Structure 1
Amino acid sequence: MITLDQVYILVGLMFAAFAILTLRDPAHPTRIRSALFWGLLAGSMLFGSYLGGLGNGLLVIALVALGGLSKLGVGKPETTTTEQRRDSAARRGNWLFLPALIVPVVAVGGTLAAKHTGWGEVLLSSTQTTLIALALGCLIALIAAMAWLRPPATAPLHEGRRLIDSIGWAVLLPQMLAALGAIFLASNVGGVVGDVVTQAVPMSSPLVAVIAYCLGMALFTVVMGNAFAAFPVMTAAIGLPFVVHQFGGDPAIVCAIGMLAGFCGTLLTPMAANFNVVPANLLELPDRNAAFNGVIRAQAPTALILLVVNIVLMYALAFRF
């Protein structure tokens, strides 16, 4: 049976390989610091369950210190040239998207199989099944791409290091912000936020509660940088006590659309660096700061329109079932 522990081992080995390749790259501008950063992250994935709370806390502090000193830098991995990549893309066309499509197909199919078939229950653990299926999808997509394109055996590691260098410390933001959301929930920040909101906005009708919840999800996501961090706080503050319990909203619909409202805030905030900084870096746009601001400006109209749509959908659907 594939478990989440095995997924962590796989990811840890990947980051360990990035650390070793970085350390062996003499052209890397921050070779030692970057290798240490990725090595510590590998240690977290491989040995985090044995380090305890104090050990993991010290490891996170070390990661923050290394990432906060300055940019981690971009190395010179062994890779193809821009012209070679263009030629390959021209020859294969849209078929190049096939390995990427394998990932969601396996993730969804594996999750459904684990819940509704006997062999799925044997293959995948019932704990964090979707995450395990996602990792399995990535592995199958990699095998398919290697068999089809036949690159050098070390190409996935070199290309992975190239991408991870471009992303830098922002790769850790989703994990850290989700953990921060869990800490806020445990410390009853949701209750405090709920008291503040009800003092400012009396929850006199379902529409008012829906607007407060969706706007709160978007605004708290702007502050936190991640809808997963905002979700437990705003759902505990407004979603469950008012939209669900007081006015009888369907919890599945309320939570699903509430998360989408939070994603609207993700499109509007510089705190969501993994969404709004990373594209500018990966596309290697010439002026990264202007490109970063340009990403948010381009996304803002869509985010605001979708936020209104989510409010309408929640009000129209959550109280009908």
Structure 2
Amino acid sequence: MTYLGIRHFDRFHGLPVHTPAQSSGPLPAADSVAWRLECDYGEGDDFATVWDQFQDVVDTERVRALVIGPWWRTDYTPFDEVLELLVDDASALPALRGLFLADVVREECEVSWLRMCDITPVLEALPSLEEFAVRGCGNAGLGMRPLRHAALKSLRFESGGLPGALVRAVAASELPALERLDLWFGSSWYGGDATVDDIRPLLSGGAFPRLRHLGLQNSEIQDEIALAVGSAPVVAQLETLALSMGTLSDTGGEALLTGQPLNHLSTLDLRHHYLTEPVLDRIRTACAPAVVEGGEAEDDYADPDDEDDEPERYVAVSE
């Protein structure tokens, strides 16, 4: 299987990411980097101490972007404690426009193990936030309630198992400035129970009038999503569309071919798919001049040590 997307970002919110604990010498200007705060497992300070030290040495009133990495030191501390610190000290971050929660990669912790929580309070506490991203799974507590946020332009959920309730909450939210939305659906094994019906309000075109990028990715029902996208009014307003990282097969590919034209897009991302080459070639031809990112198809997987194991298809990110 190919794993896409779970990596530490070198840049976030248009700024280079800087981790103070791994740096020496003078600190950069507070507004020149995205600050990444993290704990070292088994040693060093807990996150509350790291947070206090950050506020002591950095002019937080000028901080524009913040990335929260691993927040536990000796065990997987629930994220509620981190969220409480962010909410309580939100007034100390008046310039904050980008926030990424749980920037954790496979080597540090499986996505499904991240003990998350309802992230709504931090969005409510930061009304000027323009970019928000979070990594986690439904079976580990990730949640959200419907809200109104006038400034948010980019919303991204990277999940190995996205709860349907969270998807419905996003669809029910008032986000008049939203331009980019990415939803990674993941696996039912890790709490991903979202259905096509949950995303229909997003596909109607009336939910987010400024939306220009839509990512409906990493899904076990990628064919069903492709069928829904084929007739979705929202597609006409998009510049880029991502249906990557899931189990898209020729069934979904044919749905894209027989649905509405997609050649107004600049990019159609289908990476990590199970399409045959002829169908992918037809999609490329039909979508021209749009760039179709495809790459090589994934192979069905079966346990080589189990003769009775039936071949299966997997999303790119689950654990």
Name the TM-score class by shorter chain.
under 0.3
Normalising by structure 2, we get a TM-score of: 0.26
Higher strand share: 2
Q: Which has the higher contact order (CA 8 A, sep 6+)?
A: 1
